[in-house]
Amino acid sequence: MIKNDLFLRALKGETVERPPVWMMRQAGRYLPEFMEIKEKYDFFTRCQTPELASEITVQPIRRFGMDAAILFSDILVIPQAMNIEVQMKPNFGPYLPNPIRSQKGVDEVIVPDVEEALDYVMQAITATKEKLNNEVPLIGFAGSPWTILCYCVQGQGSKTFDKAKEFCFTQPVAAHELLQKITETTIAYLKAKVKAGVNAVQVFDSWGGMLSPMDYQEFSWQYIQQIVDALKEDTPVIVFGKGCWFALKEMSQSGASALGVDWTCSAQNARYLTGGNITLQGNFDPARLLSPPSEIKKMVTQMIHEFGKDRYVVNLGHGILPNVPVENAKAFIDAVKEYKETH
């Protein structure tokens, strides 16, 4: 049994004494102990070495005692397993030297045996569970098929993902075939993670907000729905679509356990759009962690008041920034732990 199951109880919608808290990208770049490892090993070596991935995963738990750990990994391990070369360039980000821009490119993409191709992730889960020693739950994650397609077609990060959209709009048959291959791989991958021991999964649709509501349905949501349908009986599923407030109503009827909300959508709107009966997660602006600690604490307390303490997981509205001072991250976590509902 997990000693601190606050996070899992909040996902079930149970009444809790305070909301649970964790931070997207909490395992990483704002921590000095992470930077020490980063100096010695390149990005994918860290992802592919179970001992390193598990160590990085538990670092923030040791330091701050969040209510959940999230496995250190990357959404782009999926395309790597599918026969698509992905590099991580320092001070640049992901780089795919052979972007997919044609039916021929899609034909060359495989649906792998994930247990084999991504065995290092499963080993990292085993190693992490051992280190966590049932203190807190472990979250596994994957990118949404649309978000993965964005990188596969664009070949790198982008402000607009214009090439990815062009591919979908000019070659929809090839685009849907690629999305389906990514979806099947992702379902198998997340199921393997659950089998390996994660306690919940999160789907990150980081670039969902790039699409109009109509295109979102066609090129993103229907594939996320397949993932939710395949996983929801096995484990709680959290869906986080950045910039996707327009889809919150439909998301709330998907069978997901919780929905992530970014900082551009107020608590009131998020509760209204989701009908008030699903757990929400978010939505502190990561840049606000640059405010003074005393101010962070006030804002976090206010945020909990607005969302309500039940059916709520305190988090950021996107990943933590590398330049956030450690004491500011601590203020964010402490504010939640010190929270007492004022009647």
Model confidence band, residue 341 (pLDDT cutoffs 50, 70, 90):
confident
Q: Calculate the alpha carbon distances from 144 to 39, 91, 140, 218, 312 in Å.
A: 30, 24, 13, 13, 22
Model confidence band, residue 343 (pLDDT cutoffs 50, 70, 90):
very low
Main-chain dihedrals φ then ψ at residue 309, nearest 5 degrees:
-75, -25
Q: What is the rounded distance in angstroms from the CA atom of residue 35 to the CA atom of residue 42? A: 11
- Looking at every residue in the chain, the average pLDDT score rounds to 97
**pLDDT score for 155:** 98
Domain housing 310: 6-337
pLDDT digits (tens, 9 = 90+) for 244-282: 999 999 999 999 999 999 999 999 999 999 999 999 999
Q: Per the domain annotation, does 206 fall within a domain?
A: yes
Q: Per the domain annotation, does 121 fall within a domain?
A: yes
**Of the candidates 144, 112, 124, the residue with the CA atom closest to the CA atom of residue 58:** 124
Neighbours of 91 (CB within 10 A): 4
pLDDT digits (tens, 9 = 90+) for 88-111: 999 999 999 999 999 999 999 999
Residue 25 known to bind ligand: yes
Residue 29 known to bind ligand: yes
Q: Which residues pair with 143 in a beta bridge?
A: 204
More confident residue, 224 or 341: 224
Calculate what percentage of the chain has a pLDDT beyond 90. 99
pLDDT digits (tens, 9 = 90+) for 44-93: 999 999 999 999 999 999 999 999 999 999 999 999 999 999 999 999 99
**pLDDT score for 340:** 84
Q: What is the pLDDT averaged over residues 118-134?
A: 98
Residue 254 known to bind ligand: no
Q: Per the domain annotation, does 343 fall within a domain?
A: no
156: helix, coil or strand? strand
Task: Give 107-120 as a DSSP string.
Answer: HT-----HHHHTHH
The number of folded domains in the chain is 1
Q: Per the domain annotation, does 314 fall within a domain?
A: yes
DSSP 325: -
Q: Per the domain annotation, does 342 fall within a domain?
A: no
pLDDT digits (tens, 9 = 90+) for 290-332: 999 999 999 999 999 999 999 999 999 999 999 999 999 999 9
Residue 151 known to bind ligand: yes
Q: What is the rounded distance in angstroms from the CA atom of residue 47 to the CA atom of residue 340? A: 38
Residue 46 known to bind ligand: no
Q: What is the pLDDT averaged over residues 152-175?
A: 98
DSSP 279: E
Q: What is the pLDDT averaged over residues 111-133?
A: 98
Q: Per the domain annotation, does 1 fall within a domain?
A: no
Q: Per the domain annotation, does 185 fall within a domain?
A: yes
The CATH number linked to 108 is 3.20.20.210
| Alpha helix ranges (H) inside the chain | 6-11, 32-40, 43-48, 50-64, 77-81, 103-107, 114-117, 119-132, 145-154, 162-170, 172-196, 213-216, 222-231, 248-252, 267-273, 293-307, 326-337
Residue 268 known to bind ligand: no
Residue 272 known to bind ligand: no
Q: Per the domain annotation, does 146 fall within a domain?
A: yes
Angle at 196 between CA 194 and CA 202, to 5 degrees: 35
Calculate what percentage of the chain has a pLDDT beyond 70. 99
Q: What is the rounded distance in angstroms from the CA atom of residue 243 to the CA atom of residue 224? A: 15
Query: Residue 116 class from Cβ within 10 Å (0-12 exposed, 13-18 middle, 19+ buried)?
Result: exposed
**pLDDT score for 217:** 98
